[in-house]
Amino acid sequence: MNAPVRSNPPPVIKSAHGIGVVCGLAAGVWLGAAEAPTKLVNSGLSPYAISLCMVAGVFTARWTFPTLLKGTRQVFADLAESKHLIPIAVLAGMLWAVANTLTVFAIRDVGLAIAFPLWNTNSLIGILWGRLLFGELKGASRINIAKVVLGALAIVAAAVMLGFSTIHTGGAHNRAVGGVLAAIGASLLWGTMYIPYRKAYISGMNPLSFVTVFTIGELGTMVALVLALDGGTKAAVFHSGETRHLLFWLFLGGFVWVVGDLFQQFATKYLGIGRGIPLSNTNQMWGLAWGALVFGELAHADAAHRLLVLIGSLVMICGALAVTTAVATEKERGSMREALVRECARYDLDYDRVMKSYAGESPATTIEGRSWWDYAILATAVVVFVWLGMNARVPELAMNYAWVGVLAAILVASAAGCTWILGKTTHFS
């Protein structure tokens, strides 16, 4: 049965574009900071083991935050209304897990400075998929198309400049072809991963519900990769007591990444793939801030490398401003409504419910109250981190703790501000 097409535009949040922009920029702050805890790990663990530990932290966070904000009853009610999206969410998690593992290989072989800009080209792949599959930028004015495309290109170019600013002539760098190919593979997978994201949101699924299922694909895939390619049940990550003190930092990296990804999910919902991904890819600038200000990566940089930092930062800011000001016109929003109607017709969805959900309104099936297991989930997450923290050791690594405080304050402020806006305007819908 085909969903009826409405002649009137659906209800939309007047500030949907602004909400998406705030979420995209907050995502960049947190995704950039996610690399900081992993800098404390120099363990000799295999890329599969490192990725598995990070995904375990991701799994813990992905169940904790939806439980904290909505409660599992609401999450399960949302999933029950969108059963067809569950396999898609699991597939997206599988893509993420493989991509994340490839980034570990890339960092090992060519270094973060080269790998990071390469996999951040996923924004260009996202723009392509958004246009081909969901009609993004269809009907957009030429000026908006230019802002989005050129803004995304500027952010990628700036990422390259910022990446190379951390390469110094005195260091040894293995520019292995395999590492470059791994980074490119991660870019392709992460750019493609946003297809399930966007499909879920134009079908009315809440981002918090989507990520809950998403993480099952992540964790299952990483366990399978370790069992198949990293020693099976005898893998060091399962047995070595020498790595126990490292787990907290890898868990923390995954946990911080999830906060950024949740904001990225809402940015993708309210801005689309083409606008949301480039904004979140400003994480390169924040990652460099942690590296340079906290870990002193530019302490011995020459004038040329410092100039690259300045120019790259300015170019990235200009690119982000271009994407930020590309507000969709009514004609472009009409193209997006057509994509939504196609989804309703394909899966026999209730058009009015999906439209209200897409616009950020709370679902009609809102379930109040929490169950005992919600508190059990939150308590378990706290116990896990306390236990890991008690077994953790801070490596003997020079850090500027004043800048740690400043950047941590920015993290907290960005999360608090974005969470307040989402809660006030959409109730996290």
pLDDT in tens, 309-355: 888 888 888 988 898 888 888 888 887 778 778 878 887 877 777 77
In a domain, 207, yes or no: yes
Range of the domain at 211: 16-426
Residue 87 belongs to some domain of the structure:
yes
pLDDT tens, 99-132? Answer: 888 887 887 777 666 677 778 788 888 888 888 8
- Provide the domain count of the chain: 1
Residue 286 lies in a domain: yes
More confidently predicted of 54 and 43:
54
In a domain, residue 6? The reply is no
CA distances from 53 to 253, 335, 392 (A): 9, 42, 14
Res 2 pLDDT > 80: no
Q: Is the pTM of this model over 0.85?
A: no
Query: In three state form, how does the secondary structure of 64-79 look?
Result: HHHHHHCCHHHHHHHH
d(CA 85, CA 360): 19
Domain annotation covers residue 51 = yes
> How far apart, in whole angstroms, are the C-alpha atoms of residue 403 and residue 292?
10
Tell me how far apart the alpha carbons of residues 112 and 14 are, in angstroms, rounded to a whole number.
40
In a domain, 2, yes or no: no
Residue 7 in any domain: the answer is no
pLDDT tens figures, 137-178: 888 888 989 999 999 888 888 877 877 766 654 444 445 678
Which residue, 45, 21, 4, is CA-closest to 249? 45
Given a contact cutoff of 8 angstroms between Cβ atoms, the answer to whether 198 and 268 are in contact is: yes
- Helix H segments across 13-141? 16-33, 35-38, 47-69, 72-81, 86-110, 112-119, 122-134
Statement: residue 425 has pLDDT above 90: no
Any domain includes 53: yes
